[in-house]
A and B are shown apart, each in its own frame.
Chain A
Amino acid sequence: DAGVIQSPRHEVTEMGQEVTLRCKPISGHDYLFWYRQTMMRGLELLIYFNNNVPIDDSGMPEDRFSAKMPNASFSTLKIQPSEPRDSAVYFCASSFSTPLAGFSNQPQHFGDGTRLSIL
């Protein structure tokens, strides 16, 4: 089975431009997570979805960030307008279930990430 697939792998764009990151979770996984990794702050949860519905977006840094999951096999994370401080590696992860849903034995599976550079 294919793992979590993210695109693009690398994105370089100028400040002010719109950026769209894409993710295809593992088939059958009901949970999808977006994380951001920086040297200063490490990996941080931005938002997660359950059955395509956003559950918790408290980690989204600003209104410039938005995420959607129009169906079970696709999610996007959009930054508009982008700023240099948004430069980071963005990861998507999926899982079959979570501890809060009653399953504490389900690992999260991560994609290879999108390395974003805003000039």
Chain B
Amino acid sequence: KQEVTQIPAALSVPEGENLVLNCSFTDSAIYNLQWFRQDPGKGLTSLLLIQSSQREQTSGRLNASLDKSSGRSTLYIAASQPGDSATYLCAMYSGGGADGLTFGKGTHLIIQP
């Protein structure tokens, strides 16, 4: 069974810093990996999706990388802003027949103005 760990569970940094959020997984046989953002009382917004054949994806100030062999993905946020404050979740499709996402518990990010 796939297990997903996100470290740190919470992070607080001053505005303007570059930061890295980490996601590790136990089963490298994944089809794709998604990074989501969740704002309080809201649903999940898909930020980036990396297919298993890809190494990274970029969108604006966000860059996500995938290293299946080591079971790791990182989300890099450049020049952080207070509006980036949210919980960030990684999730993946794995094998085993189940066709849904397996989620980590998220990193709660606070960007201090």
**Cα-based distance from A25 to B113 in the complex (angstroms):** 37
Give the size range of A's interface with the partner. Answer: 20 to 34
Which residues of chain B have C-beta atoms less than 8 A from A98's C-beta? 93, 99
Is the beta-carbon distance between A108 and B46 smaller than 8 angstroms? yes
Residues of A contacting B: mostly: strand
| 0/1 interface trace, chain B 9-53, chain A, CB 8 Å (1 if under) | 000000000000000000000011010100001111110010110
- Report which B residues bind A (CB closer than 8 A): 31-32, 34, 36, 41-46, 49, 51-52, 89, 91, 93, 97-106
Interface assignment of A112: CB less than 8 Å from any CB of chain B: yes
List of 5 A-B pairs having minimum Cβ-Cβ separation, nearest first: A99-B31, A45-B100, A43-B103, A110-B44, A110-B43
Is the beta-carbon distance between B52 and A104 smaller than 8 angstroms? yes
Interface assignment of A42: CB less than 8 Å from any CB of chain B: yes
Nearest Cβ on chain A to B72's Cβ, whole angstroms: 19
Is the beta-carbon distance between B44 and A91 smaller than 8 angstroms? yes
Nearest Cβ on chain A to B32's Cβ, whole angstroms: 5
Is the beta-carbon distance between B100 and A111 smaller than 8 angstroms? no
Which residues of chain A have C-beta atoms less than 8 A from B103's C-beta? 42-44
Across the interface, B100 reaches (CB within 8 A) one of A56, A107, A113, namely: A56
Additional 8 contacts, C-beta under 8 A, given A42-B103, A111-B43: A45-B102, A48-B99, A48-B100, A98-B93, A99-B93, A104-B31, A107-B46, A109-B46
- Report which A residues bind B (CB closer than 8 A): 4, 6, 31, 33, 35, 42-45, 48, 50, 55-56, 58-59, 91, 93, 98-101, 104-105, 107-113, 115
Is the beta-carbon distance between A43 and B91 smaller than 8 angstroms? yes
Which residues of chain B have C-beta atoms less than 8 A from A101's C-beta? 99
Is the beta-carbon distance between A33 and B43 smaller than 8 angstroms? no
